[in-house]
Homo-oligomer: A and B are copies of this chain.
């Protein structure tokens, strides 16, 4: 059981200012918690149901630095951002911020991406396609937002995600810059570079003009039907599948 103060503390991590103050974030659910517990990342709290604890004793033992608490389903619900909380919630120490000045491989650059579901989905996509880097402009949603952690499914552990001044980063990288826009060249017909930076823009405003001007190629997924747009996560998935195809 958690004390009132511990419960309040863990719940407070739903807000970015508290995550920043404590350098700790939340990872929820058996699958995602498992990814972090299998890593060398330092864990602060493991709060889980009796059943989960009993089934995962060795995983808990592997993290002597963590305070482990058995909680009731009702208590888990008070901590959870999910409608149906799932067995275990961790408070995890955030890895140190990464600085990457140059990339030598495919990189996704996110220009003011706002939606945590899209951010998490794109981290998961990078993780699937073996894309090693994600560069985020300062205006992007926090990559340790609980919904991002949820949707990324452990991708944080395998993809180098860093915040940077995108324009300066892009100017410094001697790589093709591929901008996902409406009205660009068809992604089916461009000559694919061996590596490059794929820029995905804000959900409603797209890519900022400064970054657009730096683009080597502007690409579009051709539309056949009536939808006004594709979701940013889905677009990123399609472009990564086509660009990294070998």
A interface with B by C-beta (< 8 Å): 117, 121, 124-131, 151, 153-155, 157-159, 187-188, 221, 223-231, 233-235, 237-238, 241-242, 244-245
With both beta carbons as reference points, the residue of chain B lying nearest to A120 in the complex is identified as B231
Contact A124 B227 (CB under 8 A): yes
In the complex where A153-B228, A227-B155 touch, is A221 in contact with B244 (Cβ < 8 A)? no
B contact residues around A125 at 8 Å (CB): 230, 234
Contact B129 A224 (CB under 8 A): yes
With both beta carbons as reference points, the residue of chain B lying nearest to A158 in the complex is identified as B226
B contact residues around A124 at 8 Å (CB): 227, 230-231, 234
B contact residues around A226 at 8 Å (CB): 127, 130, 157-158
B contact residues around A129 at 8 Å (CB): 223-225
With both beta carbons as reference points, the residue of chain B lying nearest to A117 in the complex is identified as B117
Contact A158 B127 (CB under 8 A): no
